[in-house]
Amino acid sequence: MVWRTVRLKVKGGSASPQPPVGPAIAQFGLDVNEVVNKINELTKHLKDFEVTVLLHVDTDSRSYRVEVRSPSSSSLLLKMAGASGPSGDPAHKKVGNLSIEDVIKVALMKKNEMNSRSLKAAVKCLVSTASTIGLSVDNKSAKEVIKLIDEGFYDSVFLKYEDEWGSR
């Protein structure tokens, strides 16, 4: 059993059998469309984001597995805010603002990698991360947003996404 790994960069949910992805898969004698469909299924929650996919292939049996490496939470938050990069002085210089729904969407994108048991806990963690890179949420500080989450201010928003979080 000899395993080889190929690193591919694809847009989430939009991998194509065209070069460079198709030839990278075809070199192992795999069904290119089958592998591309598998990659798209595993990356659909990261639509419009560039992700790294590791394709691990057993060259003897031609079996394979796909491993998705999603962008960092900071990268996703910055992209959602339309910011080009983090603030060098996040306490005094903000580089963008997110809505609470933006933060929830990032939590859902990262749900398989987060250790949070609840969507609220994941969002509170991401609100703190946003603060450290110079992003505010609903034009408020992380401390204010976390307090509002704990008080139930955003419960109606969380309710819309609970089923999606629960299906992880």
Instruction: Answer left, alpha or beta for residue 42, where phi above 0 means left and psi between -120 and 50 means alpha.
Output: alpha
- In this structure, the answer to whether residues 114 and 150 fall within a common structural domain is yes
Q: Contacts from 88-96 at CB under 8 Å and sequence distance 24+?
A: 89/134, 90/131, 90/132, 90/133, 90/134, 93/134, 94/134, 94/135, 94/136, 95/133, 95/134, 95/135, 96/134, 96/135, 96/136
User: What is the domain extent for residue 147?
Assistant: 73-166
Residues 91 and 162 in one domain: yes
* Domains contained in the chain, number: 2
* 77 shares its domain with 57: no
Which of 42, 69, 96 is the C-terminal boundary of a domain?
Answer: 69
pLDDT along the chain (168 residues), means of 10: 92 92 94 96 88 94 92 93 93 95 95 90 97 97 97 96 82
Give residue 112's pLDDT.
83
Q: Which among 30, 46, 69 is the end of a domain?
A: 69
